[in-house]
């Protein structure tokens, strides 16, 4: 089975958690840890602001993350051109310390486009790719279609592949039976599950752990429960602004300090819900400005928060002691 052994090592003047994998089918890239699924800064003309992107990455690189997820849902990748998607990954890799993983979103609607984008992301410096489920023709996206799609992508990918199920955006879930089948592929190493069903994730961990398959929580709102059932980390929107507390929560869970972990988890639930379900990317970018990052505008058609929404968002952070 899959064993995580936390130990401390010093890197660039800071202590971070490292982990090892033992057992499973061969040696796989170790995903364990906390990731920020980073945003894409735009200027007022709607152009990608690469200077602000690089400044944000410099700040995130000082937090003991395992890495960054670039061109996930919070990166507004559906509003970017293919060239912008690849260039953003290339710029982040230039700034991000080499020991930190860069997991790049390479999912497209067609299998052929995803294969091409995956190769481009690898060429730009991605350590691994995270591939969202195709969803436009969701009525025909069954287990067979998903297994065929992901197998084709993983067969041709020069870097490891992480599955990505995000029903809040796609209105479908990657079926458990498809995940179990795909967990046997030597180049498919894990799953980010952004649903809200802890029972489902527990079942996935149970049915895939012998393959060394790694499950990442898709939200800070249920990070503790998923650590308790065997998840190895989280890709959490809230890490864009509260990265240090999320890494502390990880540390507490790995140390078995569940009482302290629970108290910290309580304080993260409301701000997490505010920048995900309630206000989305516009809320996240607003909060980033409060914490010293470049948030800025979203790309149209997304609109900024109203003044009333901004006030409510601030209250969610203040009432939990973060502002």
Catalytic residues: 192
Q: Are 90 and 67 in contact (CB under 8 A)?
A: no
Q: In whole angstroms, what is the distance from residue 212 CA to residue 184 CA? A: 9
Which residues, including other chains, have CB under 8 Å from residue 116's CB and lie 6 or more apart?
Answer: 108
SS3 48: strand
Which of 222, 233, 175 minimizes the C-alpha distance to 203? 175
Question: What residues does 14 pair with on adjacent strands?
Answer: 11
Would you state the structure tokens that stand for residue 5, as one six-digit string? 């052994």
- CB-based burial label for 256 (10 Å; 0-12, 13-18, 19+): exposed
């Amino acid at each position: 089975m899959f064993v995580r052994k936390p130990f401390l090592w010093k890197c660039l003047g800071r202590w971070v958690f490292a982990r090892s994998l033992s057992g499973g089918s061969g040696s796989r890239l170790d995903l364990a840890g906390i990731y920020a699924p980073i945003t894409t800064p735009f200027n007022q003309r709607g152009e990608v602001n690469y200077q602000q992107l690089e400044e944000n990455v410099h700040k995130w690189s000082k937090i003991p993350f395992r890495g960054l997820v670039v061109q996930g849902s919070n990166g507004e990748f559906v509003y970017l051109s293919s060239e912008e998607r690849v260039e953003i990954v290339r710029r982040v890799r230039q700034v991000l310390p080499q020991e930190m993983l860069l997991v790049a979103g390479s999912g497209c609607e067609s299998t052929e486009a995803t294969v091409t984008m995956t190769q481009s992301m690898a060429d730009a410096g991605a350590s691994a790719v995270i591939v969202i489920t195709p969803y436009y023709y969701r009525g025909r996206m069954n287990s067979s279609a998903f297994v065929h799609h992901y197998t084709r992508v993983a067969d041709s990918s020069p870097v490891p592949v992480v599955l990505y199920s995000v029903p809040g955006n796609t209105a479908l879930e990657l079926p458990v039976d498809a995940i179990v089948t795909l967990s046997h592929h030597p180049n498919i190493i894990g799953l980010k599950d952004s649903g809200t069903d802890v029972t489902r994730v527990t079942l996935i961990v149970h049915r895939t752990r012998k393959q060394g398959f790694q499950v990442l929580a898709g939200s800070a709102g249920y990070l503790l429960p998923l650590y308790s059932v065997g998840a190895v980390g989280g890709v959490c929107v809230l890490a864009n602004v509260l990265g240090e507390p999320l890494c502390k929560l990880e540390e507490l869970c790995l140390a078995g300090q569940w009482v302290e972990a629970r108290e910290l988890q309580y304080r993260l639930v409301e701000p997490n819900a505010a920048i995900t379900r309630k206000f989305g990317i516009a809320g996240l970018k607003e909060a980033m400005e409060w914490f010293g990052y470049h948030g800025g505008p979203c790309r149209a058609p997304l609109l900024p928060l109203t003044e009333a929404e901004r006030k409510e968002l601030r209250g969610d952070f203040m009432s939990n002691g973060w502002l």
